Structure 1
Amino acid sequence: MTASSHARSLALLLAALSAIGPFAIDTYLPSFPDIAAGLQASPLEVQQSLSAYLFAFSVMTLWHGAIADRFGRRRVILFALGLFACASLGCAFASSIEQLWFWRAMQGITAGAGIVISRAIVRDLYDGAPAQRLMAHITMMFALAPALAPLIGGWLQTFWGWRSIFLFLVGATALLLWGSYHLLPETLPPEKRQSLRPSYLLHSYRKVFGSPRFLLASLALSLNFNGFFLYVLSSPVFLMQHLKLPETAFLWLFGPGMAGLICGSWLAGRLAGKISAGRCVLYGHLVMASAALLNLGLSAFLPPGLPWSVLPILIYTCGMSLAMPSLTLFALDPFPEQRGLAASCQTFFQSATNGVTAALLAPLLWGSTWTLALGMAAMLAAGSLATVAHHRLQRNSALLPG
């Protein structure tokens, strides 16, 4: 296998590992009404199954990286995939909404290992422009999963009902477990592994969460993403109520969104090494700003409809993924000896923000396309402020002597 083909294979595997968590979110969205009917639950109770997943995901991501720093990347990935398959099986056979909450939380506990450890593996192997390029390639391939997930989920729901979606996740995870067992290398040698002593972990977590550079880069990344994720969480209402589309038409949201992700990630990969990472982030924010303004205008003056209600999402995700690889690396760069733990903290920060959006903001804003557009614009504005603050802090740090 040549070096280029090996890099592509590794990027594909890391993208699949990163995608299993978001895939478990998007696949069952078309089934919300059927789950509510089958388990005799209210729409809000079904929505809370998503919140249970996201909050469990965010809490456990604090530990995936530290555990991988101690025991190695490969072993933790394999163990987490096995547990995720078992939790998916539990979801498939849930007989009450409370049981579904429990098994969705178990999925969330294990799903974050892929995305956390994949980021750590990139930083184990590469620095600078090569790391930015590989991260962009992973994002580009990772974008296909959320585009396909609701489409697959819609057809599974149509033909076999909501339980078949979780059985599908069991089979997909088993396939990924087989691929990881045979193809995933161990990138952290024993001499570089870290301790799990409580005193060491407390000091390390305090060091990461006390870093302004980490906090600002993570905040910018999380808020930018939530400008789009708001629509993902609201997709049953946005598509089936506002746009009057059937449950098999979720591709109208996820198709443009993921097309934008792929386009922006491709651009980020092409620009790596040609322009600075900071300029790549700037261009990404300019593209997102144009999308948010267009979204506000269209939702204010036109009734909900196709294609104008989804066009801004394509543009927004293009800018988001153009900035995403560099912002991710900005968060991890201050901690070269603790990449797994730093990746855990960064993923925790983002997933906790996702959980707040799922539990509070999405139900508050999904009442109209106008309020959703306001939500996107507000998320981007806050993310842009965090980006500017990070840039100033980084510039001032570079000017300090020594």
Structure 2
Amino acid sequence: MFAAANSPPKLITLILLTAVSILSLNMFLPSLPNIASALQADYGLVNLSIAGYLAITAVLQIVMGPLSDRFGRRPVLLASLAIFAGASLGCALANDIWTFLFFRVLQGAIISGMALSRAVIRDMVPAQEAASLLGYVSMAMALAPMLGPMFGGVLEEFFGWRASFYAFMVMGIVLYWLCWADLGETNVTPSETFTAQFRTYPELIRSRRFWGYSFCMAFSVGAFYAFLAGAPLVVERLFSMSPAILGLCLGTISLGFAFGSFLSGRLARRYSLLTLIMWGRIVACIGLAAGLMLFVLGFVNAATLFGATIFVGLGNGLTLPSANAGAMSVRPHLAGSASGLSGAMTVGGGAVLTWATGLVITETNGAYALLGMMLFSSAAGLVSALYVWRIDMQEARSTTVQPE
């Protein structure tokens, strides 16, 4: 029962690693006001536990990917889970804001669960099968953000704000045991030294395909971040909704993502990576363009807005598993580095789109600006996918040219 694993993990292990990585971001959101009150801190300072956490996880993904290429996926994941469990206890016991924020930063180690789960899958199977498995893993990325705050709110109401962090500690311990028993090493060709590994990085950096796939992911997720940044303001100004109904409507984009991810799991073995990526981008763009057109024609209502944005979730569910698999397949021996760098680009791009959406949206242009920003980001993802398609066509033509 406690023997160390020596074989590849089950898919459920990777799904749970991904889910907890996402839960760590938003499960305790209902507790933010009480954390500020209990630690006698300004709400804006407490909010660093979200914004600062995102920044830290972006940096950590860049670091953890190469570490897993050098030392293996298993030791990096186990070390990260141990740090996460200890940091969660530190947050739960904190009596001042700076101690809380210090341990909150250390909690960011759990991002390895999401970044390295992708690399583990790519280690185990070829690119198209990896896209299929990533589709099922991505369903956790849709459901966890919806269920996390609900669970955190229940813990807050019955046990106080510290309960969420004790729950994180338990999750970390359980996941550590699960990975110890189930997640054997999948990186069978680790670099001998960091020097040798760094010599191979230019292979990844010079790859036009890698940047095409990565920008496609960043812009695709950017549309989702723009939605989260602008939808509450737009709904408040245009429609009369209770907070409960608003929360339900905001969850529609995640439901679309869950369904799109499920479709990816079913279709990725039958269709090429680029085919699913293009389908996803086209679905998102058509849905948003139709929403804008309906708004122009006078159909200004919640059904039009959320009916259009659900296509973004559906399109992202089709796009992201294949784009992830594509980025990691450019240089399979650097799958961890590719996963980390593309993941950091996605988080960074999301932060930029969130900021830009806040600047663009006003009380007068609300719905149009929101759908416009989302359409711009989704279309930029489509352009990135077309860039990869162009590279494929160029290389296909060059291989068919026969020397005279």
Counterparts of residues 285-324 of structure 1 (less than 5 Å): 285-296=281-292, 305=302, 309-324=305-320
Bigger drift between 10-19 and 136-145 goes to 136-145
Q: Which secondary structure does the structure 2 equivalent of 1:106 belong to? A: helix
Alignment correspondent of 2:153? 154
Residue 3 of structure 1 aligns with which residue? none
Question: Partner residue of 1:396?
Answer: 394
Q: 1:43 to 1:400 in 2, by over 3 A?
A: farther
Gaps of 5+ in 1: 1-6
Look up the equivalent residue of 1:282 and give its one-letter code: M
Partner of 1:186: 185
**How many angstroms does 1:196 deviate by?**
3.9
TM-aligned CA distance change 1:163 to 1:334, over 3 Å: same
Q: CA deviation at 1:322?
A: 0.5
Larger radius of gyration: 2
Q: 8 Å contact 2:128–2:272 — kept in the other structure?
A: no
Tell me: CA distance 1:105–1:297, structure 2 relative to 1, closer, same or farther (3 Å).
Answer: farther
1:51 to partner: Cα distance: 1.9
Conserved in 1, the CA contact under 8 Å of 2:128 and 2:322? no
Give the residue type in structure 2 aligned to 1:381: A
Q: Equivalent of 2:261, from 261, 265, 273?
A: 265
Deviations 1:303-357 (A, max 9, x none): 775x554333332111111111111122112202222222222222222223444
Whether the 8 Å contact between 1:284 and 1:321 is mirrored in structure 2 is: yes
Q: CA RMSD in A?
A: 3.1
SS at match of 1:15: helix
Question: Are 1:84 and 2:84 an aligned pair?
Answer: yes
Q: Which moved more, 1:77-86 or 1:288-297?
A: 288-297
Measured after TM superposition, the shift of residue 194 of structure 1 is 0.8
Q: Which residue of 2 aligns with 1:114?
A: 113
Match of 2:3 in 1: none
1:230 to 201, 226, 230: 226
How far residue 224 of structure 1 moved from its aligned partner, in angstroms, is 0.4
Q: Which residue of structure 2 aligns with residue 167 of structure 1?
A: 166
Cα offset for 1:366? 6.9
**Partners in 1 of 2:360 and 2:26 — Cα distance?**
19
In 2, Cα distance between equivalents of 1:271 and 1:43: 45
Partner of 2:45: 45
Q: TM-score, normalised by structure 2?
A: 0.84
Given candidates 364, 378, 381, the residue that maps to 1:380 is 378
Instruction: Please name the residue that 1:4 is paired with.
Output: none
How far apart in 1 are the matches of 2:394 and 2:45?
48
User: Is 1:20 paired with 2:16?
Assistant: no
Aligned CA distance change for structure 1 residues 91 and 333 (closer, same or farther; 3 Å): same
Match of 1:209 in 2: 205
The one of 249, 253, 262 equivalent to 2:250 is 253
Change in CA separation of 1:243 and 1:380 when aligned onto 2, cut-off 3 Å:
farther
Question: Secondary structure of the residue that 1:146 maps to in structure 2?
Answer: helix
Return the TM-score normalized by structure 1.
Answer: 0.84
Counterpart residue number, 2:323: 327
From the superposition, tell whether residues 8 and 180 of structure 1 become closer, same or farther in structure 2 (CA, over 3 Å).
closer
State the identity %: 28
1:352 aligns with 2:348: yes
Residue 195 in 1 paired to residue 192 in 2? yes
Shift, 1:37, TM fit: 4.1
Cα contact 1:30–1:250 (8 A) shared by 2: no
- What's the CA shift for 1:138? 1.5
Distance 1:302 1:400 in 2: 50
Partner AA of 2:324 in structure 1: T
Show CA shifts across 1:6-49 (max 9, x none).
Answer: x9982221121122222112213333444444445555434432
For residue 289 of structure 1, what is the amino acid of its counterpart?
Answer: C
Deviation at 1:249, TM superposition (A): 7.0
Comparing 387-396 and 228-237, the one that deviates more: 228-237
Q: Say which SS state the counterpart of residue 337 (structure 1) adopts.
A: helix
Quote the Cα distance in structure 2 between the aligned partners of 1:104 and 1:243.
36
Aligned residues: 389
Give structure 2 stretches of 5+ with no counterpart: 1-6
